[in-house]
Amino acid sequence: MDLQVFQCVGFSDDNNRWSLLSSSLRSGDEIYTRSPHHPELRNRLAALDIIDLNPNLLSKELIKTTVHEILAKAQNRNVVYASEPGGLTYDSFAIQLAEEAKQHNIVVEYNREEGVLEEILKRAEISFCHGVCIADGLCLAVSYAPPFPPSLPAIIVGINSEEMAASIKKNLSHTYPLSYGVTIFGYDKDGKWRSIQFSLEHVSSNPIRAMGILYIPPMGKDTSFESFQDLVAHLRSPEGCPWDREQTHASLRANLLEETYEALNALDKSDWLGVCEELGDLLLQICLHTQIAVENKEFSMPQLIHAIQSKLVRRHPHVFAQLGVDGIGEILRNWEEIKAKERKDNGEEQKSLLDGVPLSYPALAQAQDIQARAARVGFDWEEIAPVFDKVFEEIDELKQAKDAASTASEIGDLLFAIVNIARWMKVDAESALRETNQRFRKRFRYIEDQVRQQGKQLKNMTLQEMDILWEQAKAFDNQELGG
């Protein structure tokens, strides 16, 4: 038996060109479609039975199950799939159906002709020469972010239900603002082909019954990762900036560290515009290092992205490989085991579980990571009470220190024990101390300002006078927190 894949095609300004390539349809064929609201499909094939697929194939598992169900039918009889109006080439369900059919030795027969997509390209004045992204709505609906850059125009085909439109809107809203203007092409309740301009927010609540196609205009060249890579490469080129051209991996090391701390500082302040700016600066450092690597033939951006994506998939078997886990603790233990296997497979001998803790970490962060890794293999107390006891024990030992060397050692032990309390209480020790530093700076600046306003000098103030001002600064902090 075989599988025929047809394309619902065509429209023009007079709305009379809709047709289905149906000349070879046979009596008894089983016809499937994802276009239940397609009026011409119903009108032209009124004498034949049409099976509407679930229009809300909004999970990869449901898509896979539906494909297998259709192919099971095709083992014993002739099956027809009527593709989406947007074009057979862009119907991801049709593509997956055809690929699986070939694997089962089912003959696939294609029937296609130019459809609505070319008309939409003309109406939107889009040229393939400048780039355009075309995606199937089904594929987009089961994804979590748009798989195309916002700097290019995008055409989404095969949208056939409000539920699918809602999923697509949620996906697109990760990149485009809900107020962003889009154009919808499809049939209204009277079976008339229409195009309506809307904001993205109203995509799933428009008067078009069977939307079919969504056009998204480009946001601008400077909105995509690809254009940013091009900019960085330009800066490094002979036509670019002399300073950028002189940089090396080594010379940029301090910049990477500085930008990281500036991003952390913005995070500590909950300054989200600042976070946006600082993460952009971090991204610049990543792209600069990658561009230098490309020039030195060390690695490329696709290699970098492939490596981190493969690593994330590999280290999340509970997400991507249906591995059952019992809580976060088991996830972290699996993570360490997978990392150990990766090192072994790469021929990297690891002498200790703690070898993976970067020596360049700040001391508090390094201590917390060391403790966390040890805890994952069971080297930890069963409850928090002994953790507090250890702090008091270290304080007593510090009091008994006899010389500078033992004092420094005991202070280190005390700090390490306090970091352990932070870990038990799920507080990042490095961030906590950084926030305390910021509070101290703010309160001490208040003391300086008050003393200056009184016409005095800080060095002439008594501790008691400064302490009064300190308490005032604390009260202002508490008022801000309460507000």
pLDDT of residue 14: 36
165 C-beta neighbours (distance < 10 Å), count = 23
d(CA 483, CA 481): 5
Q: Considering Cα of 171, then 176, then 181, then 185, what sign does the dihedral take?
A: negative
Q: 381-409 in b/e burial notation, b at 16+ Cβ within 10 A? A: eeeeeebeebbeebeeebeeeeeeeeeee
List, as one string, the DSSP characters of 408-475. Answer: HHHHHHHHHHHHHHHHHTT--HHHHHHHHHHHHHHHHHHHHHHHHHTT--GGGS-HHHHHHHHHHHHH
Has residue 371 got a pLDDT over 80? Answer: yes
Has residue 275 got a pLDDT over 60? Answer: yes
Tell me the mean pLDDT in the region 297-314: 94
* 249 neighbors 289 (Cβ within 8 angstroms): yes
Has residue 27 got a pLDDT over 80? Answer: no
Reported as half-sphere exposure (CB side, CA atoms, 13 A), residue 387 has a value of: 19
Q: Name residue, tokens 């039975």.
A: 49
Nearest 5°: CA angle at 221, between 88 and 205? 55
d(CA 421, CA 414): 11
Q: Name the least confident of 67-81, 186-200, 451-465.
A: 186-200
Instruction: Give the H/E segment covering residue 399.
Output: helix 385-399
Highest average pLDDT, of 223-232, 371-380, 470-479, comes from 223-232
Question: pTM of the full predicted structure?
Answer: 0.63
Q: 111-136 in b/e burial notation, b at 16+ Cβ within 10 A? A: beeebbbebbbeebebeeeeebbbbb
pLDDT of residue 412: 94
Q: Name the least confident of 312-316, 340-344, 474-478.
A: 340-344
Q: Name residue, tokens 């056939």.
A: 160
Closest alpha carbon to 365 in 291, 257, 248: 257
Closest alpha carbon to 32 in 65, 75, 69, 1: 69
Taken in order of first residue, the domains within the chain and their CATH numbers are 2-114 (3.40.1010.10), 118-221 (3.30.950.10), 224-314 (1.10.287.1080), 351-427 (1.10.287.1080), 430-482 (no CATH)
d(CA 108, CA 393): 77
d(CA 375, CA 328): 13
Tell me the mean pLDDT in the region 373-386: 89
Given pLDDT bands bounded at 50, 70 and 90, which one contains residue 210?
A: low
pLDDT digits (tens, 9 = 90+) for 147-200: 899 998 998 987 877 888 889 999 999 999 999 999 888 777 776 777 788 899
Tell me the mean pLDDT in the region 6-13: 42
pLDDT of residue 362: 86
* 183 neighbors 215 (Cβ within 8 angstroms): yes
Tell me the three state secondary structure of residue 308: helix
Has residue 483 got a pLDDT over 60? Answer: no
pLDDT digits (tens, 9 = 90+) for 118-146: 666 666 666 666 678 888 888 888 888 89
